Amino acid sequence: MLPLELIRRDPDRVKRAARLKGEEAPIDEILALDRGWREHLHAAETVKAEQNRLSKEFAKTRDDALKERLREMADQAKSELAEAEAVKHELDDLLLRVPNVFHESVPVGETEKDNLVVREVGSKRELGFAARTHYDLGETLGIMDFEHAARVSGSRFAFLIGEGARLERALVQFMLDTHTREHGYVEVLPPVLVNSASMTGTANLPKFGADAFRIEGQDLWLVPTAEVPLTNFHRDEILDGDRLPLKYVAYTPCFRSEAGAAGKDTRGFIRLHQFSKVELVKVTSAETSMAEFEHLLADAEVILQRLGLHYQVMLMCSGDMGFAQFKKYDLNAWCPGLGRYLEVSSCSVFNDFQAMRANLRYRPARGAPPSFAHTINGSGLALTRTIDAIIETYQRADGTIEVPEALLPYMGGLEVIGRRSS
RNA sequence: GGAGAGGUGGCCGAGUGGUUGAAGGCGGCGGUCUCGAAAACCGUUAUGGGUCACUGGCCCAUCGAGAGUUCGAAUCUCUCCCUCUCCGCCA
């Protein structure tokens, strides 16, 4: 969330940022509640201070009249404080609904059409025959199965089978190895059920609860991304500054109900209620976050480069970047069969927006007062769509799929997916 | 899931309802001593918030969380969470 102090000092900046993001921000209500809260709090504390003082006196004198007066003061302080807290709750609730501001380098715009292509790497592969989609190829080869998934779970689920499942496992291994051995991330296997406080910490709550799956009757949610457990790992802590940046990588399933997206990408292995992702998370100091953000983006790009996939780096405009992000890049991989790019990674920096919600701080130097950390995350990469891009890019005229060179060590000698072994 | 024990500051660990925001120790920081270091000794060492005559002061809150009893709660009561031990169940 944003510091209340920022909203007091520069409400217009916050309003403007929200408008350019296409979000609502109840700034005037917040300012009114803020005034009310401080009035009641001041009243309560004044009475309480006097009560504390007289209470010590009472310990000596045991004066009955004083006791009666103290009883009244206690009631008064209690009711003022209750009033202050009620207003503060309302205030905090609204604060959690104020979107983050954004970095000066973010282009102002309304829709995805206003996003900026920062660079393109590689080029669209010429196949020399009519490209087929990953779901056509996948179903034909028997490595993807949507029909049985619909029976077992419902729509927007999928099975990977045989060499398809093997491909995902190889990719996971490849990505984790690259990020841990070469990029210095610590591998983590987190819980995939998290509580509401964690969901609030990363700003998935209160606004986006409808996009997530909740466990009935319990305060538990299925993680929409490993960002939630990784970023909340240090919630309510004060870290030593010299431990930063912290770098974590985790492979987890991700669960999204995607309520608002019905009808979009219904075909194929693209937008599912459950998908796998390798996620990168960094916790940094305020000074280094923007540079660490660019590094994280580069770490994710390495995966695409090694897989030999053509992709573009897209800088998201204000209107398309989301509630919590300070700046965001998408990595879009080219899929010849679909004839379009698929988003395989989304990399974001949040400045202290998440850290304030999660109360995640660090001490810049010995004895210095704590500051809120900066948080960064990005997919490195989403497995499902990376598989789509690989299948469509490496397909051969006979409908089999070549295994990208980088994955050969992870595929146990398999060089072509779908080749008859007879 | 059943039975029991316990959750105190960066860490360990005292704590009788009333100068206890909290003894003591460790660690950290500053200093004395020293050619320097160690040791020893002295001092200092939480977080959040409000407020003011605002490079400082004053006030409030915080001893797992929440509620209660009381003029006053780390200390008494209740609920919840977590940890540990034993049993059960399981991967």
Average pLDDT over residues A324-337: 96
Q: CB of A71 under 7 A from strand B?
A: yes
Average pLDDT over residues A87-114: 92
Average pLDDT over residues A99-125: 95
In the prediction, which pLDDT does A421 show?
Answer: 60
Amino acid at residue number A413: G
Mean pLDDT lowest among A123-137, A167-181, A231-245, A297-311: A231-245
Q: CB of A370 under 7 A from strand B?
A: yes
Report CA A419 to chain centroid distance, whole Å.
39
> What is the topology classification, in CATH, of domain A4-95?
Helix Hairpins (1.10.287)
Mean pLDDT lowest among A82-96, A129-143, A295-309, A335-349: A82-96
Q: CB of A197 under 7 A from strand B?
A: no
Q: A4-95 and A112-417: same fold? A: no
Distance A368 CA to B43 C1' (A): 19
Instruction: Return the domain boundaries, chain A.
Output: 4-95, 112-417
**Residue A361 · residue A370 · CB < 8 Å:** yes
CA distance A144 to A162: 9
Active-site entry in A346, A348, A357, A361? A346
Average pLDDT over residues A121-130: 93
Instruction: Please determine, for residue A46, whether its predicted confidence score (pLDDT) is greater than 50.
Output: yes
Instruction: Please determine, for residue A422, whether its predicted confidence score (pLDDT) is greater than 50.
Output: no
CA dihedral over A153, A381, A249, A354, signed as positive or negative = negative
Active-site entry in A156, A256, A357, A361? A256
CA-angle at A125, arms to A122 and A129, nearest 5°: 175
The candidate with the shortest Cα–Cα distance to A385, out of A324, A325, A311, A321, is A311
Q: Which CATH class is domain A112-417?
A: alpha beta
Mean pLDDT lowest among A94-103, A305-314, A412-421: A412-421
DSSP string, A27-59: HHHHHHHHHHHHHHHHHHHHHHHHHHHHHHHHH
Closest nucleotide to the alpha carbon of A73, via C1'? B71
Q: CB of A60 under 7 A from strand B?
A: no
Q: CB of A92 under 7 A from strand B?
A: no
Burial of A412 per CB tally in 10 Å (0-12, 13-18, 19+): exposed
Closest nucleotide to the alpha carbon of A35, via C1'? B50
CA distance A279 to A285: 20
Q: CB of A58 under 7 A from strand B?
A: yes
Confirm whether A385 is a catalytic residue. yes
DSSP string, A62-120: --HHHHHHHHHHHHHHHHHHHHHHHHHHHHHHHHTTSPP---TTSPP-SSGGG-EEEEE
Question: Pairing mode, if any, of strands A340-349 and A327-335?
Answer: antiparallel
CA distance A97 to A203: 9
Instruction: Please determine, for residue A322, whether its predicted confidence score (pLDDT) is greater than 50.
Output: yes
Confirm whether A422 is a catalytic residue. no
Confirm whether A357 is a catalytic residue. no
Instruction: Please determine, for residue A118, whether its predicted confidence score (pLDDT) is greater than 50.
Output: yes
- Residue A142: other Cβ atoms inside 10 A: 12
Instruction: Please determine, for residue A259, whether its predicted confidence score (pLDDT) is greater than 70.
Output: no
Which nucleotides of strand B lie within 7 A of protein CB? Answer: 10, 18-19, 28-29, 47-51, 59-61, 71-72
In the prediction, which pLDDT does A407 show?
Answer: 97
Written in H, E and C, the secondary structure of A153-192 is: CCCCCCEECCHHHHHHHHHHHHHHHHHHHHCCCEEECCCC
SS3 category, A240: strand
**Residue A268 · residue A134 · CB < 8 Å:** yes
Instruction: Please determine, for residue A263, whether its predicted confidence score (pLDDT) is greater than 70.
Output: no
Question: What pLDDT, in 10s, does the model give residues A373-400?
Answer: 999 999 999 999 999 999 999 999 999 9
Confirm whether A235 is a catalytic residue. no
The mean pLDDT of chain A is 91
Active-site entry in A156, A271, A357, A361? A271
CA distance A382 to A224: 12
Kindly state the tokens that stand for A357: 């919600």
- Residue A413: other Cβ atoms inside 10 A: 7
Closest nucleotide to the alpha carbon of A367, via C1'? B29
Please give the ipTM for the structure prediction.
0.81
Residues 6+ apart with CB under 8 A from A180: A186, A187, A249
Cα-based torsion angle of the residue sequence A182, A167, A160, A336 in order, rounded to the nearest 10 degrees: 100
Average pLDDT over residues A257-266: 68
